[in-house]
A and B are shown apart, each in its own frame.
Chain A
Amino acid sequence: MKKVQFKSSYSQYLFLAPQLGILLIFLYWPIIQTFRDAFTMQDAFGFGATFVWFDNFLFIFDDPAYFIAFKFTIIYSFVITLITGSIGLLLAVQANNVMHGKSTYKTLLIWPYAIAPAVVGVMANYFFSERFGLLYHLFHELWGFNWYESVFDSYIYVIIAGSWKQISANFIFFLAGLQAIQKSVIEASMIDCKNSFRRFWTITFPLLMPTTFFLIIINITYAFFDTFGIIDTTTIGAPSGETRTLVYKAYMDGFRGLDLGSAGAQSIMMMLIVLVITIFQFRYIEGKIHYN
């Protein structure tokens, strides 16, 4: 904290009020309602609600579809993190290597970051449509690709659609991380270690750890939440709900099924997952990385 500050006075509340006000009304109030929904059950006509303790939670644990969505979300975030992280790192290392055209490469690789997931999904749709989709036909020739029926093939579809734009974000952050490493460190390591491949994994990569862990969190959050627009414009969960993320399932149960109790319970389960990941990040990972 700052050593020199203004004395506490009423004016501090004027500065805090706008953000706090918006957060209280449009964030805390809905969160409280989420908890209320999760522990109550609406009657069939929506006139009243009864307190049911953990019934909504027990229902979702009994629901095989919830575990399918859970399994898919875990696989999806893991694969997206792995693919976009490694391709982003590979491209960033190359862009950091070249003498000429560094900023041109940066510009040419940065823009997909700006495209909305839903727009990416609509585009992916055209490449995976049975009628004229190039990738559909290519994969179909190779191994009889058919995402309408095969779970594996539908995974490939949403993984490609989900990874494409996220490569950009990984590239930008890794490149910034690489450029932040001091020249003298790299020069010193060049004398000690002639093999550039080994030098990367023993010197550069450990120095990139803070960036890497930051990106892991970013990518997991992306796969959890931002991919809603991608799923909703590509497979819509096909085949039979196998490619629904937890967020997508909660939305469908709440919106199509009008089951707000279940949607609320599922939201709280997801809050818990996010909380666990965050605590894990702070407790175990941040402590083990050496900054600078």
Chain B
Amino acid sequence: MTRFITSSLSHFILLIGILIMVVPVWMIFASSTHTSSMINMNGLQIFLGDSFYENYLRVLLYQGGFFKEITALKMFFNSFIMATGVAILSVVTSLMAAYALVYYRIKHATLLFWIIFITILVPLELRIFPTYSVMAELNLVNSYFGLIVPISASAIATLFFRQFYKTIPDELLESAKLDGANTWRFFVDFLIPLSKTMIVAMLIFMFVFGYNQYLWPLLVTTSEQYWTVVMGLKMMSGSIVHRFAFVMMSMVPPILIIIVLQKHFIKGVFQDK
């Protein structure tokens, strides 16, 4: 009996937690399917209206921005390029750097370790203007390269890969050496397949990280052609329901990725079975 009561209480508390998460998003979604005059008269809605297609299509294809040069569709394209670029670049470079740190007998290994990991303490927000002026000097303002690379300058994935490599038994390298594998072969044929879960988890993490960037794209894109979704939210004009629709669409890609790939994500980050 007490078992039943405590478990009912647990379900009840969890339900409240879920409502706190779901209700705000649902209300914005429901409101995004109404007309602006409806919202202006009656406020946010709980039930669906019938302007879904009309509102969402208009937002996707509407030419927005100060110079009316960009559509939401293009912003999604830009965000996708940026997030994918950040994910691939940071994961590949981290995978390699962690490999060198763990599997080589390097001189000054401690120094190298600190040069790489101290950077975690200095997020982009702390060096945003100098980073911008470096980009300006290198002529990388208003380019995908400019959006991607400074965000990829992160050692977080390196830290995870390093931890992971250290848990791999020494026997693996011993037997690979007996088979005559050189450093490159060992990396490609043994280590990368073993790190698959971790690689997927880090790709997801960095994709979401890249997609969600706000301040950096705001600073580094003066041309509307390079606007991303998250920063575009503040820049786009339009009536209230179109804003709702844009907000809703902006959160779909990262949420979808986290929900669909959550098993891989959690498995990699927490290294559980």
State the A residues within 8 Å of B (CB).
1-9, 11-13, 15-16, 18-20, 22-23, 25-27, 29-34, 37, 87, 90-91, 94-95, 97-99, 101, 105-119, 122-123, 126-127, 131-132, 134, 164, 167-168, 171-172, 176, 179-180, 196, 221, 225, 228-229, 232-233, 247, 251, 254-255, 260, 263-264, 267, 270-271, 274-275, 278
Contact = CB atoms under 8 A, between A and B. Distances in A.
Contacts of A271: 121-122, 126
Contacts of A98: 7, 10-11, 14
Main secondary structure of the interface of B (DSSP, over half): helix
Given A37-B129, A108-B22, 10 more contacts: A3-B170, A13-B100, A16-B97, A30-B134, A33-B130, A95-B10, A97-B7, A134-B43, A228-B125, A255-B219
B53 interface: no
A76 B244 CA distance: 28
Contacts of A27: 119, 122, 127, 153
A26 B13 contact: no
Given A18-B96, A37-B129, A37-B130, A12 B106 contact: yes
B1 interface: no
A107 B131 contact: no
Contact of B214 (A6, A229, A274): A229
B158 A119 contact: no
Contacts of B9: 94
9 contacts: A6-B104, A18-B93, A18-B96, A23-B116, A114-B212, A126-B31, A134-B27, A168-B21, A274-B122
Nearest to A134: B44
B13 A23 contact: no
What is the interface of chain A mostly: helix, strand, loop, or mixed? helix
A94 B258 contact: no
> Across chains A and B, which 6 residue pairs bring their CB atoms closest together, nearest first?
A116-B212, A33-B130, A132-B43, A30-B130, A114-B254, A15-B100
B166 interface: yes
B200 interface: no
Contact of A23 (B28, B119, B272): B119
Contacts of A13: 100
Interface residues of B, number: 94
Interface string B180-221: 000110010000000000000000000010011111000100
Contacts of B119: 23, 27
Nearest to A95: B14
Contacts of A4: 170, 173-174, 177
B47 interface: no
A233 B218 CA distance: 13
A46 B7 CA distance: 66
A6 B208 CA distance: 35
Nearest to B230: A116
A116 B21 contact: no
A112 B251 CA distance: 9
Contacts of A267: 126-127
B250 interface: yes
